[in-house]
Structure 1
Amino acid sequence: MTANGRFQAWPWHAGTALAALAVLAPILALVGQAGQGSGAHWGHLLQFVLPGVLAQTLGLLIGVGLLAAALGVGAAWLVTAYDFPGRRALSWALLLPLAVPTYIVAYAYLDILHPLGPVQEAVRALLGYSSPREFRLPDLRSLPGAIVLLAFVLYPYVYLTTRSMFASQAAHLMEAARLLGHGPWSAFLRVALPLARPAIAVGLCLVLLETLNDIGASEFLGVQTLTVAIYTTWVTRSDLAGAAQIALVSLALVTLLIAVERRGRRRLRYTGNRRAAPIRRHVLHGPAACLATLLGLAPVLIGFAAPAAYLLALVLERLGTGQGPSPALLRAVGQTLTVSALATLFALAIGLVVAWSRRILPRVHAWQGALPRLATLGYAVPGTVLAIGLLFPLMAIERGLSALRAATGMDPAGLVLLGTPTALALAYVIRFLTIPVGTLEAGLDRIPPSLDQAARLLGENVHGMLRRVHLPLLRPALAASALLIFVDAMKELPATLLLRPLNFDTLATWLYAEAARGTYEEGAIAALCIVVAGLLPVILLARLMDRPTA
């Protein structure tokens, strides 16, 4: 790149550096604040809080990880290696649980499996019992209940990555295993599964990060995780220092999970021929085909169909009585759309800056290549941890703005960021910036460098090249990014609970409040709106997956 080109490119590089700083600031502030906490705080946490909370958190992570891995890997191998009635529909339907946030599934099943709910009433009628005192199913509000529900919602992360790996494996490897005397099950365990371990590790890491980020489902089901402890310590006990210290422990656990996942992937690399024929599906008939269809349907029914049908029934029942959405709920819808749209616009703009700077700037120093990666760390930080860490930089900015107003003779009172939707949108941008950066980088990588060279020969500078050449080609990537950011912002609960202004509700916090009060009918409308919105990116993913595997 010429000296003039480097001069034109420096604003993009500076923008990337600012984005990385904005992401790192809450993390660094959290570490500093937790380190300043008194020894009494740490002593109390170590003696009375962290042992029980860590035990439940680790138990939840291990249980959800094992069950989600079994469901995701099993479903991926089923639709990749076998042909049976409904396989094509199941290949995308198995993604549907991604449309339902974990707290909505917990919200729905708490009513579905209530001792006086439809399932337990039907079981008692079938067994000849008439009262919950005579017979009732195990209580869903428990660690095993949370493990099962979270796993059936989050397994698509493992399914998504593992199915792509299974589909790209060469058929001759499986045929070689068969010729060496291995049956289908042995060939799967000795050949297909080891080759898919890097993909399983990626999906499993996403599952564990989402489990650690969850607050609604864990609290509804009575599981005291680190995330729930952060929320209760700050909101219920008004102990910001203690919440920061617990958040630091959660951040350390996230760092450990990512380090283990990356180490596992680094040690499990392999090469293969991309042009080799994919695995040939074995056609099932009779009882085996029926069993395969039922096994494929089970995760979809439990993770999506049952809670979605329950919510739809509640909404139709409420509308049938002539009761529409309350004015407060309609206001929450408007506020959700506003703050999600604001976060989407800012995240797209910043993501474009980061992705474009990576395209045009030479890697002279290692830290230049690290800046785009640092800008995408927010997704790995649980929402509660991000909210706690973001408070301290925002408070520092507010103090600076107040001093500036006082120095210029203006009223120093009032908040510009804290206690406003702007702070909430900022948290969404930091948390979901990895979506536009990753999507736009992938889109830019598909554009050949020869177009850049042609544009420069025609006299275009860096800015004109982006505006006139790359942006038109990036429209699909921009649209996909906007959709994913918008829906994720709508569903985000932990950060919203901690940073929302007074009397400001989104659909997620409205549902959370209604579930806490036990008013399921009103909350069902908000939950169904979130599920319908969540279906849009799932349909997009299903279409993208179906192209190479149809």
Structure 2
Amino acid sequence: MPSPSATSPRIASSPANWSTRSVSTTDVSLSRLLRHGWQLPPVLIAACVLIPIASLAASALSGSPAHWTHLASHVLPEALSNTLVLLLAVGVIVTLLGTVTAWLVTAYDFPGRRILSWALLLPLAVPSYIIAFSYVDLMHPLGPIQGTLRAILGIDSPRGLRLPDIRSLTGCILVLGFVLYPYVYLTTRIMFQTQAASLIEAARMLGARPLTVFARVALPLARPAIAVGVSLALLEAMNDIGASEFLGVQTVTVAIYSTWISRSDLPGAAQIALVMLVLVLALIMLERHGRRRQRFATARRAQPLRPIRLGRRAGLLALLVCLLPVILGFVAPALHLLHETVKRLQHELPSRQLLDSFINTLQVSALATALTVACGLLVAWAGRGAWRSGAAPSAGLAGRFASLGYAIPGTVLAIGLLAPLVAVDHALSGLLGQWSDRAPQLILMGSMGGLVIVYMLRFMAIAVGGIESGLERIPRSLDHAAATLGERPGGLLRRIHLPQLWPAIAAAALLVFVDTMKELPATLLLRPLNFDTLATWLYAEAARGTYEEGAIAALGIVLAGLLPVILLARVNRSAP
């Protein structure tokens, strides 16, 4: 008979102990999953951003060689040349306007400087297609501008005075330039305000002239900020579809839209979108290359630049230089829209269709904002790595990929999402068909679901950036103290981070909400049938050549766009 010591190993390996060991292993795996589960959301969101790009490449490759031949011969030459000329000219205009105005309101004191320092941001409140919509009416041969000039000059016939047609490549360049310069103004002025003023003060004390100080000291220091602002402005110019089409300019974005909508040619549209994506990547690489060797050494207690009081003539000239882009980029179009809206409301109330478009805009913008801010919170919080041992490299890398959607034009993103959304609709319809004989066929494409998804992917970077800036203000010592006291990740987020993050979350939600209201290219491509937002309603009014209710829709978008501009003005004022 075996001894008890001989049987003890068998007892240790009995089935009862196996179950105990498996339970303990399961507990360890579950604990590890809970501990590192915060790394999963940014990875999934990053995958959602990369799926449209992969789908776009697959759709482009599925087209026959005849597609490429036709595009290379008849579509791409004109579209590419117009796009490149547009980007080059707009880049020059926004650089000049943004840099000069930022330097004037920062380095000099003149009448109206305080008002102009935030008024120069106002064109950001107006989408480019609304500016084009307004100037087409303002610059019409029978419009107010040419009519006023003829009245002043005593000319009766419209043929006696005819200004150049705004519907041209030159008109499109001017419209986009005066709308997009605030991107350069904002980034450059913050650089002028926050950089060390000792170098500029030293140059002034050595007798350098104002132009020399600007060209040889201030401008090289601000070159990285200028590069960032110009790249953002050019990305917005490439994403534009309304202004280009209103003004009769065939760009790459317009070619994508017309190829898909007019000819129902998805492979051809995907091929043009792939070319556009290459242009976007080239712009980003060019911006990175332009500031790759920039290094700065700043004082620990840098003093803001003290503005110099200008004389009467110089002050008046500075006032006129800063006032011109504000008038052309915001005041004139906004006053025209207000006048047309009041005139319309005096005779007739808005139609039921316009009110439905307003309600649709609020609904889809609210849903997209809630989803985008929630996903942005997960991505930013995972990238912080507040729990336990810090951020995992996968979480930080996934956060970067999740923010790529803002660099992808809405047209490209929408074309890339068409095939995945249709595949998901088929899968959901087949799944629901097992329980019902009348399962819906288009669940996402036939509802606001597709729009909410494309808005979320497009504006994820805004939510992530805003919430990350809020997280940076929370000391990490609070995270370490909570972890030491045994607080779980959910409790850390709920009890410590969220109460301090509400201002950043609210600001990010406001920016996302207004951007979704203004988004036109993606909305045109993915909206359901008989579904209009204020942006698409305005686009349809301009396409039909009717401006009766388009001004009301445009004014609503402008008023909503003023909210984030006021927020940016407050941030810009407190930057020093």
Name the TM-score class by shorter chain.
over 0.9
Which residue type is aligned with residue 13 of structure 1? Q
- Report whether the alignment pairs 1:150 with 2:176: yes
Give CA deviations for 1:165-201 in whole Å, capped at 9, x if unaligned.
1112322211332344421101110110011000000
Q: Which of 333, 343, 360 matches 2:358?
A: 333
Which residue type is aligned with residue 448 of structure 2? P
**Structure 2: distance between partners of 1:102 and 1:519:** 19
**SS, match of residue 158 in structure 2:** coil
Q: Which of 402, 421, 424 matches 2:451?
A: 424
**Structure 2: distance between partners of 1:524 and 1:411:** 42
Report what 2:268 is aligned to: 242
Deviates more, 1:358-367 or 1:173-182: 358-367
**8 Å contact 1:363–1:369 — kept in the other structure?**
no
Which residue type is aligned with residue 249 of structure 1? V
**Structure 2: distance between partners of 1:43 and 1:274:** 60
Deviates more, 1:130-139 or 1:12-21: 130-139
Give CA deviations for 1:102-126 in whole Å, capped at 9, x if unaligned.
0000000110111111111121223
1:22-421 matches, cutoff 5 A: 22-321=48-347, 323-360=348-385, 366-406=393-433, 410-411=437-438, 414-421=441-448
1:452-463 matches, cutoff 5 A: 452-463=479-490
**Structure 1: distance between partners of 2:496 and 2:393:** 28
Question: RMSD value over aligned CA atoms?
Answer: 1.7
**Structure 2: distance between partners of 1:211 and 1:105:** 13
Deviates more, 1:35-44 or 1:284-293: 284-293
**SS, match of residue 133 in structure 1:** helix
Which residue type is aligned with residue 304 of structure 1? F
Say if 1:287 and 1:437 are closer, same or farther in 2 by CA, change over 3 A. Answer: same
Tell me how far 1:5 sits from its aligned partner: 7.5
Say if 1:206 and 1:136 are closer, same or farther in 2 by CA, change over 3 A. Answer: same
Tell me how far 1:498 sits from its aligned partner: 0.5
Which residue type is aligned with residue 350 of structure 1? C
Deviates more, 1:533-542 or 1:399-408: 399-408
**Structure 2: distance between partners of 1:409 and 1:193:** 67
Report what 1:449 is aligned to: 476
Report what 2:12 is aligned to: none
Say if 1:273 and 1:3 are closer, same or farther in 2 by CA, change over 3 A. Answer: farther
Structure 1 unaligned residues grouped into runs of 5+: none
**Structure 1: distance between partners of 2:540 and 2:83:** 24
**8 Å contact 2:39–2:392 — kept in the other structure?**
no
**Structure 2: distance between partners of 1:105 and 1:510:** 15
Report what 1:515 is aligned to: 542
Say if 1:9 and 1:150 are closer, same or farther in 2 by CA, change over 3 A. Answer: farther
**8 Å contact 1:9–1:357 — kept in the other structure?**
no
**SS, match of residue 521 in structure 1:** coil
**SS, match of residue 519 in structure 1:** coil
**Structure 2: distance between partners of 1:412 and 1:531:** 41
Which residue type is aligned with residue 12 of structure 1? W
**SS, match of residue 378 in structure 2:** helix
Tell me how far 1:392 sits from its aligned partner: 1.1
**Structure 2: distance between partners of 1:5 and 1:534:** 46
Report what 2:520 is aligned to: 493
**Structure 2: distance between partners of 1:202 and 1:45:** 32
**8 Å contact 1:5–1:461 — kept in the other structure?**
no
**Structure 2: distance between partners of 1:462 and 1:247:** 41
**Structure 1: distance between partners of 2:297 and 2:144:** 52
Tell me how far 1:162 sits from its aligned partner: 0.1
Tell me how far 1:275 sits from its aligned partner: 1.4
Tell me how far 1:408 sits from its aligned partner: 5.5
Which residue type is aligned with residue 332 of structure 1? S
**Structure 2: distance between partners of 1:6 and 1:387:** 38
Give CA deviations for 1:449-479 in whole Å, capped at 9, x if unaligned.
1111122233311110000100000000010
**8 Å contact 1:198–1:269 — kept in the other structure?**
no
Say if 1:275 and 1:313 are closer, same or farther in 2 by CA, change over 3 A. Answer: same
Report what 2:566 is aligned to: 539
Say if 1:387 and 1:179 are closer, same or farther in 2 by CA, change over 3 A. Answer: same
Give CA deviations for 1:17-75 in whole Å, capped at 9, x if unaligned.
11001111001110121122110000110111101100000011111110011000011
**8 Å contact 2:141–2:147 — kept in the other structure?**
yes
Say if 1:528 and 1:364 are closer, same or farther in 2 by CA, change over 3 A. Answer: closer
Which residue type is aligned with residue 493 of structure 1? L
**Structure 2: distance between partners of 1:364 and 1:348:** 20
Deviates more, 1:454-463 or 1:97-106: 454-463
Deviates more, 1:507-516 or 1:258-267: 258-267
**8 Å contact 2:39–2:394 — kept in the other structure?**
no
Structure 2 unaligned residues grouped into runs of 5+: 1-27
Which residue type is aligned with residue 120 of structure 1? Q
How many residue pairs are counted as aligned between the two chains? 547
**Structure 2: distance between partners of 1:143 and 1:465:** 55
Which residue type is aligned with residue 513 of structure 1? A
Tell me how far 1:394 sits from its aligned partner: 1.0
Q: TM-score scaled by structure 2?
A: 0.92
Tell me how far 1:279 sits from its aligned partner: 1.8
Tell me how far 1:270 sits from its aligned partner: 1.7
**Structure 2: distance between partners of 1:244 and 1:16:** 27
Which residue type is aligned with residue 80 of structure 1? T
- Report whether the alignment pairs 1:470 with 2:471: no
Tell me how far 1:548 sits from its aligned partner: 3.5
Say if 1:301 and 1:6 are closer, same or farther in 2 by CA, change over 3 A. Answer: farther
Which residue type is aligned with residue 370 of structure 2? L
Which residue type is aligned with residue 308 of structure 1? A
Say if 1:85 and 1:364 are closer, same or farther in 2 by CA, change over 3 A. Answer: closer
Give CA deviations for 1:53-100 in whole Å, capped at 9, x if unaligned.
000000111111100110000110010000011111110110000000
**8 Å contact 1:71–1:155 — kept in the other structure?**
yes
**8 Å contact 2:59–2:266 — kept in the other structure?**
no
Say if 1:181 and 1:109 are closer, same or farther in 2 by CA, change over 3 A. Answer: same
Q: TM-score scaled by structure 1?
A: 0.96
**8 Å contact 1:379–1:431 — kept in the other structure?**
yes
Say if 1:147 and 1:274 are closer, same or farther in 2 by CA, change over 3 A. Answer: farther
Report what 2:14 is aligned to: none
Greater Rg, structure 1 or structure 2?
2
